[in-house]
Structure 1
Amino acid sequence: MAKIRQDIEENLTTDYEAYDELPENIQEKLEWFKDQKIGVIFHWGLYAVAGIVESWQMSEEDDWARKNPWRNDIDELRADYWGLNHSFNPYQFEPQTWAKICKDAGFRYMIFTTKHHDGFNMYDTAYSEYKVTQAPCPFAAEKQADVFGEVAAAFRQEGLSVGAYYSKPDWHSPLYWVPGERPKGRYASYDPQEYPERWAQYDQFVHDQLVEISTNYGELDILWLDGGWVNNRNEMLDMDRIAKDVRAKQQDLLIVDRSIGGKYENYVTPERKIPEVPPTKAWESNIPLAKNWGFCPNDTYKSFAEILTSVVQVVAMGGNIILGVGPKPDGTLPREAVGILEPLGQWLAQFGEGIYDTRPATYEVPKGWSLTQKGSTIYAFGEKNAPSISCERFEKCKKVTLLNTGEVIKTDELKTGDDLYQVYKIECE
């Protein structure tokens, strides 16, 4: 079946490749990452003002994104889109509120889009004038104009770890889409092998921005690099140099060069799906709460039940899950998103001990049951209408508690009930 959305980046060969030799501190950081389990990713930028599928409509060949075109003519669309920096003014932006909502929702880490493919910088970069902190952007006059800095500080204050999303391609940069040339698709408007000096300048630009982000914004745990067509084919960045220089500022930084593989894809990122087979590397399923990553008016949101089921299934397979939220143009979070996050947080407050800091359990269970393990303790999540199972399948089981009620189970039969999940804590010798 053909993919409806062609922005989904995947390279299945990287999901199942073995790790290159990693420094000991990065190996330890990956174990820390596996403990976190649940994160949030914010896609926010000019596309929220337009209410379109992030910045994808600007790529002429990506006509899937223009099913309902924002402008009918591609040149007019690009010009008007880039002009949205005159309109970006999130006057109700309260990052502390975001952070509190996400803390209460049970998230352990946050990734924020510092720059999408459109090249509009959501932080105070010294390497581009196309940014939220500079006129004509009306928000530039506000004290919270350095949006990434404000979000990062607010989330750290709530105890969440911080990561930076960064798009390697930059359609606004004259070193990537050269003025006067006509890029047809998402790629550079020229062949870097034919213009190596120009590409070297672009490589330097990306290097400088990534070092800047890793220098000016406090402790970062994850550098999440999007735009997988860069570092593929002819568009090769000097990742050895980039990684060396960003880790000079952030020693334990996990680098996620998505879909590229090798030593700079420290963990893999199945997009909009739960893999049928767990990847070999550490992994993180990326699932937006709505149809789109960024805010679109009248978007279709998933149900709480669907999101919770994804959380349980991913964690039981040994992965992390990161849920996508698209803030509105005014700086608030959509009420539909908050309506999912609130019950998620309530559920995790009761059952999170079976989610956080766990690893997959190796016991066989029938469909409808998911298992996690923490030391000698097993957690069993039984979906509504799943068949009963016996405790005898778990070795040296000494105590079973139904976390839904707190009661100690006197029989060896684990049953499901009317709740979305019955959750059992099984303590073994």
Structure 2
Amino acid sequence: MAYVPDRESLGRRPLPEWYRNAKLGIFVHWGLYSVPAFAERTELDYPRFMRDLTAGETTADRIPYAEWYLNSMRVPGSPTAVHHAATYGEQFPYTGFRSTFDAAAESVDFTEWASLFAEVGARYVVLVTRHLDGYPLWPTRVTNPHTADDYHARRDLVADLTTAVRAEGMRMGLYYCGGMDWTFRKQPLRTMTDLLRHQALGPEYARYAAAQWRELIDAYRPSILWNDMGWSADTDPHEVMAHYYDTVEDGVVNDRWMRTRLPRNRVARAAYLSFIGGVAKVMTKWGNGIPEQPKNFHYDVETREYAVPDTAPTGAWELTRGLGRSFGYNAEETSADILDGGELIRLFVEVVAKGGNLLLNVGPDDAGRIPRPQLLPLWALGTWLARNGDAIYDTVPAQQAATTTATGDQVHFTGKGSALFAIVLADQPTGDIVLRGVRVPASATVALLGGPELRWSARDGDLTVELPAVAPQRHAYVVAIR
């Protein structure tokens, strides 16, 4: 029997320094779902959606994610089904979007994407290679028993974007939805118990997903193995991970490899699912939610979605989210749904100060263009990082995580060597500012990042700094204490 590495043996690898120091990555959701580009516009965000789904108060056809279009259109009477029938006709299949997507993809210039991502300040990119709709963006040779042999993008989009990204000096990671594939199950996912059924597709799917991950690893050698929606209980995820580490020495693996085991017997399975669904509703109603299952598998990085943790996790972690409420491009969203530059900068600073990376998503449209409402906050972040990046890249969380100024502005701290960076989340004023509870030695120097030394004084445990009368920085400014 072949040796299969386990969690402990794989866990002896240290987290590669490049990832810990990178701080900012760009996620790209682009696929067939980018053609209809529709999800019901809702105030529902992802954390609330998951709580409601668990409680049985909503269904997955109301998810704000446009990349879930195929699932939502399968639900009779859902907003997506109604939109689809009115726009394309009830008989128009999801696969009908292939011709539009593939034709547009032929002319997309990925050097423009990569140049933008580099200018924003990203140090890595993660591309969705196959989402839940089952459509691969590379010429896979792994046969899907439920689709035509050519059910994949005509152009090798994974290869071409990888080349462009690496030419800009960034790392390239790959996302693959290993836990489920809607081409293997026609029934829509609407409830928590449906989710469990979709994550238990059997040995045939397990072999398919493992073979495609291996194909991606061998062909493109990604710096990040970003799995989603769990992993089949019929195969050991450590086999894929071990092959990956043998191929990419300084690779990184995320934590979405949870395995769902359901009874094989139909009666036992139905009883089990009914029990789990009932428990989920009761626990959510009481405000407890379903306790997270122990992660009895190896991973390098913990992934959070949309919600920043109140306290910093102890290990390596990342926050991933869209610029709006969706990852895939949703034409229904307005500027009110999308982070502005100040909101994005403040979010990014909080994540980095808590020791995390921000994996920020862009959703190109059906023609492969990144819509202007998404570009505006990206440009703002890039401009801010060009001036203040020294307080972000290659830093570690400071012993003091946060404070406020005397006027109530939030302040987050990062550190690098002998430097402490106080990042004030406000437009830069002139005159004195007071940083509450900041103690520095008498020999310290204080300056705006990249500027001359400033006069400062300490009193009652607070630090008072006299800021110069210069053009203010917008959104956030950095006081460097050395």
- TM-score between the two structures when normalised by the length of structure 2: 0.71
Q: What is aligned with 1:337?
A: 374
Identity of aligned residues (%): 26
Shift of 1:72: 5.6
Q: Is 1:425 the equivalent of 2:470?
A: no
Q: Is 1:407 the equivalent of 2:420?
A: no
Match of 2:127 among 112, 120, 136: 112
Q: Quick check: 2:224–2:252 contact (8 Å CA) kept in 1? A: yes
Q: Quick check: 2:125–2:172 contact (8 Å CA) kept in 1? A: yes
Partner amino acid, structure 2, of 1:110:
V
- 1:27-426 to structure 2, matched below 5 A, reads 27-29=14-16, 31-52=17-38, 53-59=65-71, 66-69=78-81, 70-71=83-84, 80-88=93-101, 89-90=103-104, 91-128=106-143, 140=154, 145-173=155-183, 176-177=184-185, 182=187, 185=190, 187=195, 199-217=202-220, 219-228=221-230, 230-231=231-232, 235-258=233-256, 260=258, 261-300=295-334, 301-363=338-400, 365-367=402-404, 368-384=410-426, 388-389=434-435, 393-395=439-441, 397-403=443-449, 406-412=451-457, 413-414=464-465, 419-426=474-481
RMSD: 3.3
Partner amino acid, structure 2, of 1:125:
T
Deviation sequence 1:88-143 (CA, Å, 0-9, x none): 1225411000000010000011000000000000112111479xx98688x72xxx
Q: Quick check: 2:397–2:413 contact (8 Å CA) kept in 1? A: yes
Secondary structure of the residue aligned to 1:362 is strand
Shift of 1:397: 4.7
Q: How many aligned residue pairs are there?
A: 383
Query: Kindly tell me: are residues 244 and 327 of structure 1, through their superposed partners in 2, closer, same or farther at Cα, counting changes over 3 Å?
Result: same
Question: Between Structure 1 and Structure 2, whose CA radius of gyration is higher?
Answer: 2
- Whole-Å separation in 2 of the counterparts to 1:22 and 1:248: 11
Q: Quick check: 2:20–2:394 contact (8 Å CA) kept in 1? A: yes
- TM-score between the two structures when normalised by the length of structure 1: 0.79
- Whole-Å separation in 2 of the counterparts to 1:326 and 1:296: 8
- Whole-Å separation in 1 of the counterparts to 2:199 and 2:401: 52
Partner amino acid, structure 2, of 1:274:
V
Q: Quick check: 2:411–2:422 contact (8 Å CA) kept in 1? A: yes
Query: Kindly tell me: are residues 397 and 306 of structure 1, through their superposed partners in 2, closer, same or farther at Cα, counting changes over 3 Å?
Result: farther
Q: Quick check: 1:51–1:296 contact (8 Å CA) kept in 2? A: yes
Shift of 1:363: 2.5
- Whole-Å separation in 2 of the counterparts to 1:109 and 1:226: 18
Secondary structure of the residue aligned to 2:358 is strand
Shift of 1:318: 0.9
Shift of 1:62: 9.4
Partner amino acid, structure 2, of 1:207:
A
- Whole-Å separation in 2 of the counterparts to 1:108 and 1:328: 23
Secondary structure of the residue aligned to 1:361 is strand
- Whole-Å separation in 2 of the counterparts to 1:284 and 1:163: 14
Q: Quick check: 1:56–1:65 contact (8 Å CA) kept in 2? A: no
Query: Kindly tell me: are residues 266 and 50 of structure 1, through their superposed partners in 2, closer, same or farther at Cα, counting changes over 3 Å?
Result: same
Shift of 1:380: 0.7
In structure 2, list runs of 5 or more residues that go unmatched.
1-6, 39-64, 259-294, 405-409, 458-463
- Whole-Å separation in 1 of the counterparts to 2:326 and 2:182: 22
Q: What is aligned with 2:284?
A: none
- Whole-Å separation in 2 of the counterparts to 1:58 and 1:373: 45
In structure 1, list runs of 5 or more residues that go unmatched.
1-18, 193-197
Q: Quick check: 1:257–1:265 contact (8 Å CA) kept in 2? A: yes
